[in-house]
Chains A and B, each alone.
Chain A
Amino acid sequence: QKEVEQNSGPLSVPEGAIASLNCTYSDRVSQSFFWYRQYSGKSPELIMSIYSNGDKEDGRFTAQLNKASQYVSQLIRDSQPSDSATYLCAVNVFVGGNQFYFGTGTSLTVIP
């Protein structure tokens, strides 16, 4: 059973703080990892992808991957109210074809 688990939240942080979003996965052959942001009533938007252990930074966003611990996280620095959304973790496994698995999402609220 391939599972992606996230804390559903809600997670609340004050404006300007660091928001930390966490995700664990159960399949050791998972190869690619993604973070999507979904605003209420909208479809998911890809914000980060990571494929190898370590950190990947893109502006205020940093993804962290630890394959040994089967853990991927997303840090949002200098959080803004516009970052308030649900963040979905996704994992891609290649088994004869690409299989995507999504977590249930973490709801983030940035308080002005």
Chain B
Amino acid sequence: GAVVSQHPSRVICKSGTSVKIECRSLDFQATTMFWYRQFPKQSLMLMATSNEGSKATYEQGVEKDKFLINHASLTLSTLTVTSAHPEDSSFYICSIEGRSYNEQFFGPGTRLTVL
């Protein structure tokens, strides 16, 4: 498999602030990373596909100006939640595509709580 890390694992912030979440591929270069959001007792919701060196592709209904994605290197993608509000509180998970069979490997997730 692939090893993916995320930082921070948990963040609590005040409404109106911005929060940056990092996703790193630790053992190989990932040209494509995915960002998901998961609300309690719900399934994963794909937010965007992050492509190294180009703009991210956002899913319908996801505001690209609110959820800024930067994939500046083959091992790092960042998601910035701008002007966070309580409704943005969720579990944010990144994933990378495996080398061989198109499987996805997930990072440990970041739990965001906006007060």
Contact = CB atoms under 8 A, between A and B. Distances in A.
Contact of B103 (A49, A102, A104, A105): A49
A32 B109 contact: no
B106 A44 contact: yes
Given A98-B97, A100-B34, A46 B105 contact: yes
Nearest to B45: A102
Interface in B72-92: 91
Interface residues of B, number: 20
Contact of B101 (A32, A36, A43, A45): A32
Interface in A15-45: 31-32, 34, 36, 41-45
A92 interface: yes
B103 A34 contact: yes
Nearest to B51: A97
Interface string B18-32: 000000000000001
Contacts of A31: 102
Interface string B92-115: 010001000111111111010000
Interface of A: 31-32, 34, 36, 41-46, 49, 51, 88, 90, 92, 94, 98, 100, 102-105
Going nearest first, the 9 A-B pairs with the smallest beta carbon separation are: A104-B43, A43-B109, A43-B106, A43-B93, A92-B102, A102-B44, A44-B106, A32-B102, A98-B102
9 contacts: A31-B102, A32-B102, A41-B91, A42-B108, A46-B1, A49-B103, A98-B32, A98-B97, A102-B44
